[in-house]
Each structure stands twice: as C-alpha cells, then as structure tokens.
Amino acid sequence: MFYLSKIEHTLRLPPHLLRLPLNEAIKLELENVFLDKVIANLGLCISIYDIKEIEGGFVYPGEGASTHTVKFRLVVFRPFVGEIIAAKLKESDANVSLGFFEDIYVPSHLLPSPSRSEPDPYGRYEVKWIWEFGDTKYVIDGLDEIKFRVLSVNYPSIPIEQAEGSKPFAPMVINGSIDYDGLGPSLIEFIFDVWMGSRLQQFRSVYGAPLRRFYLDKLAEQWGSRIWT
C-alpha cells in the first residue's frame, strides 16, 4: 500500500526560506510542492522520508531564489491490484473512504448480492446499503468498516473543461469489489447485527457507535481475538 520512491527534482528555494538551515528549508519546500499531490503512475505523496543529496544553490540573474537539484525519498500511497484494504462507506455510489484518501469506488454490481441502497432515515449518513442475507437484512453504513479488494488503480487525464456542479477532478481513482468471501463487513459485526435483527436500527439510533463497539469487543473476547480488525 505504501512505498518509498526515489525522486530527483530541480527545486527553486524562495528567498524567505534562505534564512533557515539548508536541509530544513529544502524539506519545507519539498513538502509544499509534493505533499497531498498525486504523481501519475507513482501515487499519492504522503511524506518526505529523507533527503539523500543536495546540489547546486545557484542564484540566476534577476532572481532572488536559489536553485538546487535534490535527490530524496518520498512515501507514496499506491495500492496494488488484488490488495485487501479496510475502509468505510461514504456516499450513495458506494464511494468508500480511508480518511486520507476518498476516491475509492465499489460499483453496485460488485457489492454483495442481492443488495440495494437507501437514504439513511436518521440523516447521519448520505446513504446506507442493505445486503439481504437469507431472511436477514444486513446494513452497511458509515458505522461499519468494510474490507474490499483493489481491482484497478487509474490516473485519469486532466480535463480541459469541467461541467459546472460536477465532482472535483480526481487524479487517482481506485476501483474495488466486496462481492467475495471474506470481504465486506467483518464477521464479528455481521454476527452481532444478525443477532440484533429487527432491533438493530433502533439500537443504532439510540446508542450509536460507541456502545455498539463495546458489545462488539465483548463478543470478540468470547472468540479469543479482535477479528474484525
């Protein structure tokens, strides 16, 4: 999921950073240039791991900034195809979130079958997914951590024009599936929600996530491990 990538970059160091020690100034400017950015075919830049080499420091005529050639290592997020990742449901199109990255989509035909989406009656989430398992309806919403398998990692081309009101452009998009044994909601949460049955929605609306997690902990202790993590 996370990789160390070696990068060589020609960096322009602004005058206001020249008062700092060189390594500190270089790191600050590298963070400004790279962090939270997506590099095509490399991934989402998470942090500067270390700086290996700094060369140059030339100040060109008419400029107050110095120019350096920097070799450094960067921590990037780039899941591989087939990797299993835990995330939470975010939107009605089965958009799931890792917290620091949200452009992850599970198409409806790759959700557990049969299933459907409904608005959340309590207004806490934009949507909830209902998975029908025999006679039991199992709810997947923002309270639940689900595991999905990465099917593809795409780097779309930057659009020349974007329609008004459309979603912001996503430079990296992950597509996944939870329609396979062992994926989707954790087993311990599934057992708890099936046991609660028709009382589940009332329990969630009244007590919310903390008490539900408490009971999940107790149930897991009887199994000997915290198997939902």
* Per-residue pLDDT tens digits of the chain, which is 229 residues long: 899 999 999 999 999 998 999 999 999 999 999 999 999 999 999 999 999 999 988 988 888 899 999 999 999 999 999 999 988 777 655 677 788 888 888 887 887 777 777 666 665 555 667 777 777 777 776 666 788 999 999 999 887 777 777 778 889 999 999 888 778 776 555 555 555 554 445 444 444 455 455 555 555 555 554 444 4
Q: What is residue 143's predicted lDDT score, i.e. its pLDDT?
A: 60
Domain of 173 in residue numbering reads as 84-158+166-223
What's the CA angle centered on 140, arms 226 and 170, to 5 degrees? 100
pLDDT tens for residues 74-107? 999 999 999 999 887 776 556 777 888 888 888 8
Q: Is 228 a domain residue?
A: no
Q: What's the CATH code of the domain at 33?
A: 3.30.1490.120
Q: Please give the Cα distance from 13 to 72 (Å, whole number).
A: 15
For residues 88 and 70, membership in a common domain is answered with no
Asked if residue 229 belongs to a domain, the reply is no
Phi-psi region of 159 (alpha: psi -120 to 50; beta: other; left: phi over 0): beta
Residues 113 and 50 in one domain: no
Judgement on whether residues 127 and 142 belong to the same structural domain of the protein: yes
Model pTM above 0.85: no
Residue pair 149/176 in contact (Cβ under 8 Å)? The answer is yes
13 and 121 together in one domain? no
Q: Which helix (H) or strand (E) holds 219?
A: helix 200-223
221 Cβ partners below 8 Å, 6+ apart?
none
* Number of domains composing the chain: 2
